[in-house]
Copies of this chain bind each other. A is one copy, B any other.
Amino acid sequence: MSHLEKLDAYFAKNRERHLEELFEFLRIPSISSLSEHKEDIKTAANWLADRLRKLNIENVSVDETAGHPVVYGEWLHAEGKPTILLYGHYDVQPVDPLHLWDSEPFNPEIRDNKLYARGASDDKGQVFMHLKMIEALFETEGTLPVNVKFIYEGEEEIGSPNLPEYVEKNKEKLSANLILISDTGLYAPGKPAVCYGLRGLTGIQIDIRGAKGDLHSGLYGGGVQNAIHALADILASFRDEHGTIQVEGFYDKVRPLTEEERKAYSELNFDEEALKEEVGVNELFGEQGYSYLERTWARPTLEVNGVFGGFSGEGIKTVLPAEAGAKITCRLVPDQDPNEIVALLKAHIEKHKPKGVNVTISEFDKGAPYLTPFDHPLIQAAGRSYERIYNVPTAFTRGGGSIPIVASFDEILSLPVVLMGFGLNSENFHAPNEHFHLENFDKGLRVLGDYLHEVADLEF
């Protein structure tokens, strides 16, 4: 029997029990953002630690942080083989509005082969899959094809405020050859995806100050600069009519898409019409010469997130505003550096500063972009494992958003990150009636088990 046949048989035989255990995990209301659930968070951490110990995982610990605990464990007996660091989070989003749930969020229920519960997909269900994949390998082969380390956090849904420090402090302990995360989704139902890149983030606030206070637009209008006009001039200078960013040097370090990547994206046949319908626009918009997927996955952005100044109540107030401001964030792609980009933005604003006003710039938190090269053996291997189970070509995707902790792992541990997720966008993460398609639970277990074998034999 091949290792896959063995896994198949094992998962089929133990499915009922596995789901019962997952129900147990899902029943713990480990909402990280609500202090009344602090004990539940601990219960969930201890539940995970117990499970790890039952799997013969060694050096299991529930490590205190300034916030919720981190669960660690390791098994390092696959001599000469790579080490995989498995990351996941055991905390979940709040559940309100409760009345929109068709069943209790912490009383899991299967309907139509979908498992309904808060955390079913994001991320307890997928964390649980890692555990069961390890269990199955041990039970069917008596060992693991690679070394593994586990790190589970309880603060992902509140922005992982303490994990970077923990990772920094435990750099040695966490050293590995790759990090495997299952917290993303398939490209579409039946179509698996390896996400090999995420955009970074940087942002500034621009505050414009003209006169000491708002002026009467009749008495002073035409004689004194208007803070909103000054702001609008700056904002308009950032992009051309197609949205191409005009900040000098902004694109200099952008790693161009490879021909292989462009071809792969194009073959996804992304449905732009469906997207227009979804967001409610008549036309899409953006940098010329790039498809929608290329623009949102592999090109940087500059977006005004908010603007304010003067009178915004009902009707009219003939004021010449003294103050105006805007919040701006850029999504960054490799190899853009968030600090360098802020410096370029500042230089641009200095150059385009309108007369008659003062401009103040403040900086927001930054996150680096992340990319494991498309043709990296670990990425391609993940694609093969998916394909073997799903029987369709794997989509190689990037995420337009940022998962700060991914960039932190990349930066602090300098490891390739492999994002192999099994959720679907339709599964209501963060919303009422979160659910997880059990078809992808079943297939995903096999994909993950197969991937550990793939990695064991890989040169990288």
Contact = CB atoms under 8 A, between A and B. Distances in A.
Q: Which of A212, A216, A306 has the most CB of B within 10 A?
A: A306
A306 B327 contact: no
Contacts of A303: 217, 221, 226, 229, 318, 320
Interface in A302-353: 303-313, 315-321, 324-327, 329, 331
A296 B218 CA distance: 8
A275 B285 CA distance: 45
Nearest to A300: B222
A201 B311 CA distance: 17
A210 interface: yes
Majority secondary structure, A binding face: loop
A30 interface: no
Interface in A198-245: 199, 201, 203, 210-213, 215-226, 228-229, 231-233, 235-239, 241-243
A103 interface: no
A364 interface: yes
A279 B221 contact: no
Contacts of A295: 222-223
A161 interface: no
A197 interface: no
Interface of A: 199, 201, 203, 210-213, 215-226, 228-229, 231-233, 235-239, 241-243, 275, 279-287, 292, 295-296, 299-301, 303-313, 315-321, 324-327, 329, 331, 354-356, 364-365, 399-402
A9 B266 CA distance: 97
5 contacts: A222-B331, A228-B306, A236-B237, A305-B320, A307-B308
Given A211-B279, A225-B285, A356-B284, A316 B305 contact: yes
Contact of A319 (B235, B306, B310, B312): B306
Nearest to A326: B228
A222 B356 contact: no
A279 B243 CA distance: 37
A321 B304 contact: yes
Contacts of A235: 228-229, 232, 236
